[in-house]
Structure 1
């Protein structure tokens, strides 16, 4: 799919891979809607856009914010050709030390935020019989590790939702993609790992955000069902599916670095 003049909404576009992907999409001719809660950060990202763009203050965790936000987008452009559900965050702690409210909050943003935004665009895409939905999940949704029960559960939900929705919308010419990255060198870890312990342990394995942003743009262009990054992590996920008990034994020391 050519991105020229396509209207693409990117949530979580105020920093990290969301901001980079938005700028890359703009470079390829798309009209990009930068959606996030922080207007100041969005303005900074918007200053680097090559083509037409729009700033949208949007809280994916709030029903009214999403509903009103997408009404604004449709009033301005009349359509959304692609939705990139990128907004999300993580916090790492042992299960018995993580407050229940954190489970609620993380699921509300990482999973229900994606559901809300998809609800806002899907009827229009079905009517147009075309559209792309790209959901940013995580390799954590396939391989669970210590101190990430809440975050892993949200990303597992994203993967399950995406797989089921893909079957529902296929006949309408709509594609649903998931991007499943491992650790990325972004501000995500400022909140997830404030003491830097995990980052220090996996620094050798962390990907540059540009690599993941390019995969996001690729999914927008091609509608590929799933992209796992890096490849070794994708291979590990397949091993888990085939031999879960063996994979747990082999990977315990390797993966539990938080």
Structure 2
């Protein structure tokens, strides 16, 4: 894996915390060069110093609020201008608010779609000509098992991840002739600060704590897939099995798993 990643420059959005932070570290530990994008430049600068100290590799930090379309386009263009070649893009930034549709604030709906869907699509579109020019690239889109199995209080979040999966699968077909790989990452709950915004009460996290994925293990799987033909990363395995059964027997699974679905 190290030989495949060493020296490669890889953009990671949402890199200041959670899965994005762990992915950046995992890239650096394998000799790659993380290009980290997030709102908090102070966190990124600190991370940059720590990566240099521990891993003895360079990394780069760029500030951008991906809820702002202009900032997103500007930061991608700046990165392309600053670097001769970008080898990969990991669209990791995302957010959720768990609530019933009847109670959702429309501002939350718009923010989820902007961050989870539109920013992902726009950043990808900005980088595609660069990847095509070099006849090389890997785009990894962090989606969710929620894009395969919808549950109560996650209608909007699930809709955004359905969109990410549809976009990813179509993009893969469009880019094969340019040697651009495209991978989706479909995760169950991960033990990060994601739930601070998704479920401020903390009830959901308490209910599912024993099932939550370790972010370091997720990062290892994601980085291991870089510059391979891996189509999807699905974690945990039992949840992916459940999603396949759900597509075959939706009513039966909804009845059987009602208590699990209602844990939010």
Selected match of 1:44 from 32, 43, 46 = 46
Counterpart in the other structure of 1:5: 7
Contact map agreement 1:132 1:223 (CA 8 A) in 2: no
Counterpart in the other structure of 2:64: 58
Displacement after TM superposition at 1:255 (Å): 2.5
SS where residue 60 of structure 1 aligns? coil
Displacement after TM superposition at 1:232 (Å): 0.3
Displacement after TM superposition at 1:84 (Å): 0.2
Query: What is the aligned length?
Result: 258
TM-score, length basis structure 1: 0.97
Answer yes or no: is 1:211 the counterpart of 2:211.
no
Query: Separation in 1 of the partners of 2:210 and 2:6?
Result: 37
Answer yes or no: is 1:130 the counterpart of 2:132.
no
Query: Separation in 1 of the partners of 2:229 and 2:27?
Result: 15
SS where residue 5 of structure 2 aligns? coil
Counterpart in the other structure of 2:34: 32
Deviations 1:141-170 (A, max 9, x none): 111111111111111110110001111001
Contact map agreement 1:91 1:151 (CA 8 A) in 2: yes
Displacement after TM superposition at 1:61 (Å): 2.3
Q: 1:1-258, aligned counterparts within 5 Å?
A: 2-49=4-51, 50=55, 51-258=57-264
SS where residue 234 of structure 2 aligns? strand
Unaligned runs of at least 5 residues, structure 2 = none
Query: Separation in 2 of the partners of 1:255 and 1:212?
Result: 23
Query: Separation in 2 of the partners of 1:30 and 1:4?
Result: 4
Query: Separation in 2 of the partners of 1:96 and 1:241?
Result: 26
Unaligned runs of at least 5 residues, structure 1 = none
Deviations 1:197-232 (A, max 9, x none): 001100111111111111211221423110110000
Contact map agreement 2:181 2:228 (CA 8 A) in 1: no
SS where residue 6 of structure 2 aligns? coil
Query: What's the C-alpha RMSD, in Å, of the aligned pairs?
Result: 1.2
TM-score, length basis structure 2: 0.95
